[in-house]
Structure 1
């Protein structure tokens, strides 16, 4: 989850409207592991006193940004989903890419992913999955590490050099396996991805799988997204998927205004 600036209890934040900051703190208390929260959980995870959390939650309920079930637990409301779906980097890209993702899904009957970079993570904006595709940990709207996913490696490989150096300076582990990734090994992987304009990554969790990914370009030929197919271990020659991925990525790129 994206880091939220720390706020000391009882003190005004250094910038911005404190009511807005607190409302956003409530919303950011939800994540994939906590899709519903009691008032006490909401208060604890947002670091807002229960009385203030209840007042803010009631206002958000009135706007449809939050919902509350019969047991009293809070959840993100459909109104917020409606607004979030308008995010240009997600919605516009997704609308352009959908037919090509559908074609890849129909051809492979596996997982097809489309992701963008947001800070030091990738965000999944669309996923097509075949009925017999193996289990994966990815969900639409979920965040993925750049250094240990196929789409993430593509987005990291084509990020600006200053960002790359800052990212590579960290101790990095392949998640969720928790295996250390030597910086030299990761640099070679990124260089290969830039040269080949594709990457192939083998994963072991939750089941052995191989991700094959390619970049999607936008205006000015900047890489704006990554497209991938995830196939099970034992798939005959996963690299044979690269031409189809490149073809789809080029078609999406042209539709987005890439030269």
Structure 2
């Protein structure tokens, strides 16, 4: 069982569960509670916090609903790992015309460190001129270049990130964020619109400049609700659909 520091909460139940939840989020964010590791027994956790099991369970259930924790029948509760299966369900929403989802082949085509623009600073909660990493990826489905990603992240939050880290990672980029840098992506906001492909995206996707494409803007947030990634995805949607799915109990 994971050994956790002592803690005690003194508050009304409706407030206490939120304090419990806040502490658990902080411990997940700091790596005290690590992805893939079995969550401590709820009775012992309740004792640790000085709250009822019902209060503790309310906090845990919200974290499960928010995809931060996962329950596995017969095994227990775990901090969710952002593996390919979870990435496909929660963050990658492109399917073929028959509704089939496929984990894309990812090719890194550019990586650099730069000073944050006004827009990057606004989205990521930085100051203009703060260091950011910029990445460009091409994602292929069924051997066809389908998505051109432009990604900006806070260089301080991902200190030590290199091109080698990105090209040699074993899993998803969100697994890399989580396991190497302790940054767990909990959710993301997305905006979609149709637009014309610029020259760079057209070249990488093998389409004509000005061709109609789907633009997906995503801001990803940590478990502490901190914006940590700004991503613009240009999608050649001639053979794929954007599909938003809901979890079914």
User: Quick check: TM above 0.5?
Assistant: no
- The structure whose RCO (Cα within 8 Å, separation 6+) is larger is 2
TM-score by length of 1: 0.28
TM-score calculated relative to the size of structure 2? 0.29
Could you say which structure has the higher helix fraction? 1
| Structure whose residues are more often strand by fraction | 2
